[in-house]
Amino acid sequence: MASQLNSIIPAPTVERLVLYRRLLEGLAQGGTEYVHSHELAEKANNSAAQVRRDLMSIGYTGSPAKGYAVADLVKRIGRLFDKKGDQKAALVGVGKLGRAILGYFALRQPHPRIVAAFDSDKDKSQGDIAGCPCYPIEELINVIVREKISIGIITVPAQHAQQVADLMLLAGVRGLLNFAPTPLKVPAWAVVDHVDITTKLEKVAFFTELKAGKQPC
Amino acid sequence: MASQLNSIIPAPTVERLVLYRRLLEGLAQGGTEYVHSHELAEKANNSAAQVRRDLMSIGYTGSPAKGYAVADLVKRIGRLFDKKGDQKAALVGVGKLGRAILGYFALRQPHPRIVAAFDSDKDKSQGDIAGCPCYPIEELINVIVREKISIGIITVPAQHAQQVADLMLLAGVRGLLNFAPTPLKVPAWAVVDHVDITTKLEKVAFFTELKAGKQPC
DNA sequence: TAGTGTGAAATAGTTCACAGCC
DNA sequence: GGCTGTGAACTATTTCACACTA
């Protein structure tokens, strides 16, 4: 799906590291100084071996006696993600889903901050939503260039998704998170990830049915 | 992540089949009668070989001359997903995200219909949202049992997610779609899928940064 | 002696390659 | 001649197993 990346860290590991960070931050606040792989695995529910391998893949090493130093590890993972100069994100499509995402992230202040939102509807593209300034779609290129935005979040209807993606890539965005229920075609130098809620729901329904019935078809 | 499933159809294939169905429905409306694997692959952007393998995995076979019969194939895939008796879904957590999802699905009328929403906040759990009746969380078990709901959608804050999941499973739900940024522990007979928007965003940001670092644009 | 780091095996999933068919 | 079906090769990822160490 996502294009080939010549990284040392495999994609699923990256996802888990984000989770570990969250869990470790919780532990750190609770005053825990050290964790063992199996404790972290328990919380993340996967295997201890996998936790060890994941941490190893970022070059972090624990001690058999104490385990992994929580605070230090948080810093280490943080250094991986919150790289030089914070990345900025823009969201296109201030519909229901777009608004929800803006509101959701406004609270959490995630790493790539959403600093601009766009919509083709003039009524929606005015003022702030959850503290994020909204612009008409015509200003997309200007704003993206001016703010040096590198990540795009697409929450427009399926039929406009590709068009919006092309526009953002043209403006200099290099990573896209696509919520539209359609696949995007992007050049090899861009990164895309796809969150398709409808498909996920159907998938869960399918496997639920399957497990319940046991007999396929 | 998702628990072991003794199905003949691998999980990624299921996801792609859902997509194929959408694409094929579009084609059918456009009056197309037959497609070749590479045409479908083009739209879904993956390889023709994969499309063929996916379709083969549900026992559907095309002809070298014409390709795959669109209408027939839609029906075939539909039969897989829209099984005997439509499944019903319930959503817990009528916050921003929950509302957005309700609104989103209200339009599309997806296969597992969302027939109930719940919230612990009395103000939110009244009346309808996007045509879906809202109940206080106390009624969850009653309603789920009464309506024979088998799928649960969790859009509550992370700290309540596990609790809500347990409650729903207790009530008879067997599949969960979790939007809370925390992993859920569920028994082996249940199906879970996890949509973690924050993590996805951080992942995209990470790989974007990584790729950018590799070759100076 | 429980817990780590890591090579090796196992498993899951994708792409290749080619025979067969229309 | 281009397209399908399918075994085989290949890639990616997870799990296993075990030497090592504090």
**Per-residue confidence of chain B (217 residues) as pLDDT tens digits?**
333 344 589 999 999 999 999 999 999 999 999 999 999 999 999 999 999 999 999 999 999 999 999 999 999 999 988 876 679 999 999 999 999 999 988 877 768 899 999 999 988 888 899 999 999 999 999 999 999 999 999 999 999 999 999 999 999 999 999 999 999 999 999 999 999 999 999 999 999 988 887 544 3
Distance (Å, whole) CA A50 – CA A17: 11
Task: Answer yes or no: are the C-beta atoms of A174 and A191 closer than 8 Å.
Answer: yes
The sign of the dihedral angle between the CA atoms of A127, A131, A136, A141 is positive
Task: State the Cα angle at B194 between B200 and B46, rounded to 5°.
Answer: 65
Residue A1 pLDDT grade (very low, low, confident, very high; cuts 50, 70, 90): very low
**What is the tens place of the pLDDT at every residue in A177-186?**
999 999 999 9
Buried b (16+ CB within 10 A) or exposed e, B100-116: bbbbbbbeeebbbbbbb
Give yes or no for residue A93 having a pLDDT over 80: yes
Residues in chain A with CB shorter than 8 Å from the CB of B208 are 87, 150-151, 174-175, 191
Contact A41, A6 (CB under 8 A): no
Of A62, A155, A4, B79, which Cα lies nearest the Cα of A168?
A155
For the residues of A174-199, what is the DSSP string, one character each? -EEEE-SSS-----TTSEEEE--HHH
Secondary element (H or E) of residue A88: strand A88-92
Element (H, E) at B25: helix B11-29
CA of B167 to C1' of C20 (A): 56
The better pLDDT of the pair A123, B21 is held by B21
CA A6 to chain centre: 19
Spatial distance between the Cα atoms of B203 and B199, rounded to a whole number of angstroms: 6
DSSP state of B2: P
Among B5, B83, B210, whose Cβ lies nearest the Cβ of A5? Answer: B210
Per the CB < 8 Å rule, is B202 touching A112? yes
pTM above 0.75, yes or no: yes
CB-based contact B169:B145 (threshold 8 Å): no
The 8-class DSSP code of residue A4 comes to P
Sign (positive/negative) of CA torsion A104, A109, A110, A113? positive
Protein CA at A208 to nucleotide C1' at C22, angstroms: 40
- Collapsing DSSP to helix, strand or coil, A60 comes out as coil
Closest CA to the C1' of C3: that residue is A64
Kindly list the residues from chain A whose CB atom is less than 8 angstroms away from the CB atom of residue B203.
11, 14-15, 18, 193
Contacts of B15 in chain A (CB under 8 A): 196, 199, 203
Give the residue among A196, A212, A154 at the shortest CA–CA distance from B12.
Answer: A196
Q: Examine the pLDDT at A46 and tell me if it is beyond 60.
A: yes
User: Which of B32, B150, B6, B25 is CA-nearest to residue B86?
Assistant: B150
Check whether A31 has a pLDDT greater than 80.
Answer: yes
* Joined tokens for residue B58: 């549900």
Chain length of chain B: 217
Q: Which residue has 């539209």 as its token pair?
A: A180
Tally the residues of chain A.
217
Per-residue confidence (pLDDT) for residue A111, from 0 to 100: 81
* CB A46 within 7 Å, strand D: yes
Counting other chains too, the contacts that B196-201 makes at CB distance below 8 Å and 24 or more residues apart are: B196/A15, B196/A19, B197/A101, B197/A104, B197/A195, B198/A18, B198/A105, B198/A108, B198/A110, B199/A15, B199/A18, B199/A19, B200/A15, B200/A177, B200/A193, B200/A195, B201/A89, B201/A105, B201/A110, B201/A111, B201/A112, B201/A151, B201/A153, B201/A177
Residue in the structure block whose two tokens are 């990624």: B12
Q: Is the CB of A45 under 7 A from strand D?
A: no
Q: How many CA atoms lie within 13 A of B179 on its CB side?
A: 26
Asked whether the beta carbons of residue B195 and residue A198 sit closer than 8 angstroms, the reply is no
